[in-house]
Chain A
Amino acid sequence: MNFRLNLAWMYPDLMSTYGDRGNIIVLTKRCQWRGIEVNIKEITLETKVSELSNCDLIFMGGAQDRQQKIAGDDFLKNKGPMIKELVENSVPALFVCAAYQAVGHFYKPYQGEPIPGPGIFDLHTEHPGDQAKRLIGNVVAELISDQFDVIARSPVSKYGINSATKQSSHLIVGFENHGGRTYLGKKLQPFARVIKGGGNNGEDGYEGALYKNSIGSYFHGPLLPKNPYIADWLIAKALEKKYVAKIRLRQLDDGLEKQAHKFVSTLR
């Protein structure tokens, strides 16, 4: 059977600021290396909402303020409600950085009215003002959900999991750079527990959010290259949803991924 995934890349010309493309490249290549065909659908302002209906996996990245404003209206009124439906329907999605803020109920700037969001995730974000410290730097966090953890590792574990992979696959590493503080509602569980760095709000020690098969994270830009098992989890979930079958992905040689991961996870 030939597997084929439609990967929706939301606003690639507006919401792609700092290496966000890395996630698309990693998802695409890791599918191709396993013989899974990938069709990238660039969804932008002019794209019809109906184009999203046959998408199997959604990615939306970071943006600068002006670009986010340009995309904001279209997202709130047109694409957002459709993505909400897909996410509710267990279609996997990855929202990083500005997209993570954008999928909440609202974003409250330091001054001015809150900017409404489509409420795909039960969360909201507040900006504490220019005087508050921006959360910038390398982040190391530990995945929380056992359920997630099992699913994250099971698709790649054709030959079982040795203790070394088990150890490293609990951790995610990345870089954060955000002023806004995000607070999760009751319907959401956090994605990871911060070991080093700021996370969602610099207060509660959590990073990101997990809802059904979708992930939101402040790890901006290329989240997936150094955390390839998250990419594999998204791919597996997309295939399971589309082909209604339990999917086991072939193990890939992730030697370089692990080295790059280790560099950040062992930073003092």
Chain B
Amino acid sequence: MRNLLAIFLGKVTFKLSQLFKLGAGGTWPGEVVLTISPNILTQLFDQLHEGVVIVAGTNGKTTTSLMIKQILEKQGISVIHNTTGANLLNGITSACIKESDWLGRINADWGVFETDENTLPSIIFNFQFSIFKDKKLIIVLLNLFRDQLDRYGEVDVIAEKWAKALQAISSQPSATGHNKLTLILNADDPQIAHLGIRLSHPRLDRGSADSRLRGNDKEKSFQLRSDSNVLYFGVNDKKHFLKQKEHATDSTFCLNCGGRLVYEGIYYSHIGVWKCVGCGEKRPQPDLSVWDSPMPGLYNQYNTLAAVSVAKALDIKDNIINQALQRFKPAFGRQEEFTINVPTSPGLREASKQVKLFLSKNPAGFNASLRTVLELNPKTVLLVLNDRIPDGRDVSWIWDVDFEILTQDKHKIIVSGDRVYDLALRMKYAFQQYNNLAMQQLIIKENLAEAIETGLKSIKPEGTLYILATYSAMLEVRKILTGKKIL
């Protein structure tokens, strides 16, 4: 009865938010439902015919989960999916309510949900009862980078929470049989791969290792039921090894013994082909390492490999996967493209210019976006830094981004956002020489619309303006571009 009331009010909230155009109904309906019926997600999950795919990680979860959704749909599988950014319990509940009827009945095969790092454990706990009833759980873990320390906490703390949740669900007797639990893990991220290694092999007791030195003495080994699956994805391509290590690395010490990791090569941040010289723990051999990515950037290669691994785990044929990926349209703000028509001069016909928008919200993400943009020979790059709640209030992290790679060439750099002067200052120190020439290359615009306008003016017709923006800044940029606030 309580659940029915909850769902009824959730549906009403959804309809109202549609009626009054109060956003897309991404989180509020779920919030209402969860307030009345905190455990309702368990029942909603239970109704899915097949099970749930959860995608977590610091970077790439929106793109990856969208790829999975589109591949599954191409196969004729019905999917419930949370809209981008709505990746807490309320967002996932909202996605279910949106698809349910007024009695809370859901008719779909799979739920494909991206989830916030801190929400992953509670999603897993909400699912643990469904696993009794032959439902399947596929957990995709992409990566862990430092991100908004003031909000999320430290990377190690998150990894430990994940390990505990995985341990809880994989040790359930009911998790046996029919591959009910599948883990799809990034082999090249030591922190992610270590979760799989811990699950697959009980830890060898290494008496010689000093537990203080290990730094993770609380860790206990646990074992995955033999019929659960761990699949690894990773890149096997020495061409992509970085010549110089980036500064923003988080996990270069062994999770098992505390020894220093050595890399045969690093692809970006701490992602690469790693090995511990102390205990011999090493990067697992990937089960999948090659697949054409529909978008540029090595990080999208990883997103693609993760999504395809899910498809393969569900026995979807290669040609279906390829067809879905060829038509893949990026999620908003993730290399999203806009065409802007601008008058070349008064009275003349319009010319079109492109804008390509890269959400870049932490050092690893920013570095990855910068590299991708630089490969595309940009004329002008606009960087936007906000410090609102969704961005993280602390902007210290910009000093971990290798902006030095951006200032090497002569393209224009425009900075804007709430913390425009922090960004300008970072740029000043990124220039090889800070002098008049550098000052001409750097343009400071407090007003974002003006910054975009200046950027568009600086490029030739048919050219592309590249914008890298933190979360709330990305939303603002979209609003300006789609709302035609400018020009």
Whether chain B is bound by chain A comes out as yes
Binds A, one of B2-10, B49-57, B211-219, B333-341: B211-219
Q: Given that A25-B429, A67-B253, A69-B212 are contacting pairs, would A138 and B393 also be in contact in the complex, using a CB cutoff of 8 Å?
A: yes
Q: Mark B388-411, 1 if CB is under 8 A from A, else 0.
A: 000001111111100000000000
Q: Is B150 in contact with chain A by the CB < 8 A criterion?
A: yes
Chain B: CB-nearest residue to A177: B150
A70 close to B150 (CB less than 8 A) = no
Task: Give the complex CA separation of A69 and B255 in angstroms.
Answer: 13
Task: Give the complex CA separation of A177 and B397 in angstroms.
Answer: 13
- Within 8 Å by CB of B394, from A18, A29, A67, lies A18
| Residues 356-409 of B contacting A (Cβ, < 8 Å) | 393-400
**Which of the listed residues B215, B395, B434 has the most CB atoms from chain A within 10 Å of its own CB?**
B215
Q: Mark A61-99, 1 if CB is under 8 A from B, else 0.
A: 000111101101100000000000000000000000000
- Within 8 Å by CB of A222, from B146, B212, B216, B396, lies B396
A26 close to B429 (CB less than 8 A) = yes
Task: Give the complex CA separation of A66 and B156 in angstroms.
Answer: 7
Task: Give the complex CA separation of A18 and B147 in angstroms.
Answer: 9
- Within 8 Å by CB of A66, from B216, B249, B398, B429, lies B216
Task: Give the complex CA separation of A73 and B252 in angstroms.
Answer: 18
A109 CB to closest chain B CB (Å) equals 12
Binds B, one of A162-170, A202-210, A235-243, A256-264: A256-264
B149 close to A18 (CB less than 8 A) = yes
Q: Is A181 in contact with chain B by the CB < 8 A criterion?
A: no
- Within 8 Å by CB of A225, from B249, B393, B397, B429, lies B429
Chain B residue contacts of A66, Cβ below 8 A: 156, 215-216, 253
B422 close to A260 (CB less than 8 A) = yes
| Residues 120-137 of A contacting B (Cβ, < 8 Å) | 136-137
Chain A residue contacts of B215, Cβ below 8 A: 65-67, 69-70
Chain B: CB-nearest residue to A258: B421
Q: Is B425 in contact with chain A by the CB < 8 A criterion?
A: yes
Chain B residue contacts of A195, Cβ below 8 A: none
Using C-beta atoms within 8 Å of the partner chain, give the interface range for chain B.
20 to 34
Task: Give the complex CA separation of A181 and B215 in angstroms.
Answer: 22
B425 close to A33 (CB less than 8 A) = no
| Residues 402-454 of B contacting A (Cβ, < 8 Å) | 419, 421-422, 424-426, 428-429, 434
Q: Is B121 in contact with chain A by the CB < 8 A criterion?
A: no
Q: Is B258 in contact with chain A by the CB < 8 A criterion?
A: yes
Q: Mark A224-263, 1 if CB is under 8 A from B, else 0.
A: 0110000000000000000000000000000011011011
Chain A residue contacts of B146, Cβ below 8 A: 17-18
Chain B residue contacts of A137, Cβ below 8 A: 150, 393
Q: Mark B118-162, 1 if CB is under 8 A from A, else 0.
A: 000000000000000000000000000010011000111100000
Q: Is B247 in contact with chain A by the CB < 8 A criterion?
A: yes
- Within 8 Å by CB of B396, from A18, A67, A73, lies A18
A65 close to B156 (CB less than 8 A) = yes
- Within 8 Å by CB of B425, from A17, A177, A260, lies A260
Q: Mark A13-46, 1 if CB is under 8 A from B, else 0.
A: 1101111111001100100010000000000010
Task: Give the complex CA separation of A29 and B429 in angstroms.
Answer: 7
Task: Give the complex CA separation of A73 and B212 in angstroms.
Answer: 8
Task: Give the complex CA separation of A236 and B252 in angstroms.
Answer: 35
A65 close to B154 (CB less than 8 A) = yes
Q: Is A193 in contact with chain B by the CB < 8 A criterion?
A: no
Chain A residue contacts of B398, Cβ below 8 A: 19
Task: Give the complex CA separation of A200 and B413 in angstroms.
Answer: 39
**Which of the listed residues B216, B249, B394 has the most CB atoms from chain A within 10 Å of its own CB?**
B394
Q: Is A175 in contact with chain B by the CB < 8 A criterion?
A: yes
Q: Is A221 in contact with chain B by the CB < 8 A criterion?
A: yes
Q: Is A220 in contact with chain B by the CB < 8 A criterion?
A: yes
B425 close to A21 (CB less than 8 A) = no
Task: Give the complex CA separation of A66 and B419 in angstroms.
Answer: 31
- Within 8 Å by CB of A257, from B157, B394, B397, B425, lies B425
Task: Give the complex CA separation of A226 and B394 in angstroms.
Answer: 14
Chain A residue contacts of B424, Cβ below 8 A: 256, 259-260
Chain A residue contacts of B419, Cβ below 8 A: 260, 263
Chain B residue contacts of A175, Cβ below 8 A: 150, 393-396
Chain B residue contacts of A33, Cβ below 8 A: 434
Interchain Cβ contacts under 8 Å between A and B, 23 examples: A13-B252, A13-B253, A16-B247, A17-B154, A19-B397, A21-B400, A29-B434, A64-B154, A66-B253, A67-B253, A70-B213, A70-B258, A72-B212, A136-B393, A136-B394, A137-B393, A177-B150, A220-B396, A221-B396, A221-B399, A257-B425, A259-B421, A262-B421
Counting from the closest, the 5 A-B pairs by CB-CB distance are A22-B399, A221-B396, A19-B396, A19-B399, A69-B215
